[in-house]
Amino acid sequence: MHDFTPIPALIGGAIIGLAASLLLLTHGKVAGISGLYGSLLRQGTSDRAFRLWFIAGLAAMGMLVRLTWPAAFASAWSASLPVTLLAGLIVGFGTQLGNGCTSGHGVCGLSRLSVRSLVATLTFMGTGFATVFVVRHLLGGAR
């Protein structure tokens, strides 16, 4: 484990938990990113404003972090662009079908002790582990 960083991970995680709690306190909503973003794409979603502002906050901070700490986006490993596009398609389709991603099911759902979210989290962790195993160890790191 040459890149093991438990302390920033724990602090960063705590901040994510705090952000989700802030959205719950102010708007009474679950901070599930795929849900917030996906609903913006759908016609007739009520309460678009807060979704738009949340995503805008996410994006604005992304730009600010890039300016002040570009290493946050550094990547020694990177999938090729066609594979990344395919990955995006699958993540988009899957998170809409399964009503959530790492934030909605993983963080918020598990905190609520939701059985649906537990099943979802175990499932996506399982297929995530399996996918990396196949790509890295069976296909020999094919990109």
CB 135 within 8 A of CB 142: yes
How far is 70 from 47, CA to CA, in rounded Å? 34
**How far is C-alpha 50 from the geometric centre of its chain's CA atoms?**
19
Instruction: Please compute Rg for the chain using Cα positions.
Output: 17
- Tell me the closest approach of the beta carbon of residue 37 to another protein, in angstroms: 6
Cα separations in angstroms, 79 against 66, 76, 87, 126: 21, 10, 9, 20
How far is 108 from 98, CA to CA, in rounded Å? 15
How far is 71 from 125, CA to CA, in rounded Å? 26
- Tell me the closest approach of the beta carbon of residue 134 to another protein, in angstroms: 8
- Tell me the closest approach of the beta carbon of residue 60 to another protein, in angstroms: 6
- Tell me the closest approach of the beta carbon of residue 109 to another protein, in angstroms: 8
- Tell me the closest approach of the beta carbon of residue 78 to another protein, in angstroms: 5
Q: Please count the residues of the chain.
A: 143
